[in-house]
Amino acid sequence: MLGFVLRWAVAFGLLAATFNPTEWNYARWAQMNFSDQMPLAVLLGLLLAVGYIIYLRATLRSIGGFGMGLVLAVAAALLWVLYDYGLLTFDNPTQNTWLGLAALSLVLGIGLSWSHVRRRLSGQADMDDVDE
Q: What is the pLDDT of residue 106?
A: 96
Distance (Å, whole) CA 96 – CA 27: 18
Q: What is the overall mean pLDDT for the chain? A: 91
How sure is the predictor about 125, in pLDDT bands with cuts at 50, 70 and 90? low
Q: What is the pLDDT of residue 109?
A: 94
Q: What is the mean pLDDT of residues 110-132?
A: 71
Say yes or no to pLDDT of 129 above 50: no
Q: What is the mean pLDDT of residues 68-92?
A: 97
How sure is the predictor about 118, in pLDDT bands with cuts at 50, 70 and 90? confident
Q: What is the pLDDT of residue 89?
A: 96
Which helix (DSSP H) or strand (DSSP E) does residue 25 occupy?
none
Cβ atoms of 92 and 7 closer than 8 Å: no
Half-sphere exposure of residue 43: CA atoms within 13 angstroms, side-chain side? 4
Reference 99, options 79, 72, 69; nearest CA is 79
Q: What is the pLDDT of residue 115?
A: 77
Cβ atoms of 18 and 50 closer than 8 Å: no
- End-to-end CA distance of the chain: give it in Å, rounded: 30
Reference 41, options 23, 25, 29; nearest CA is 29
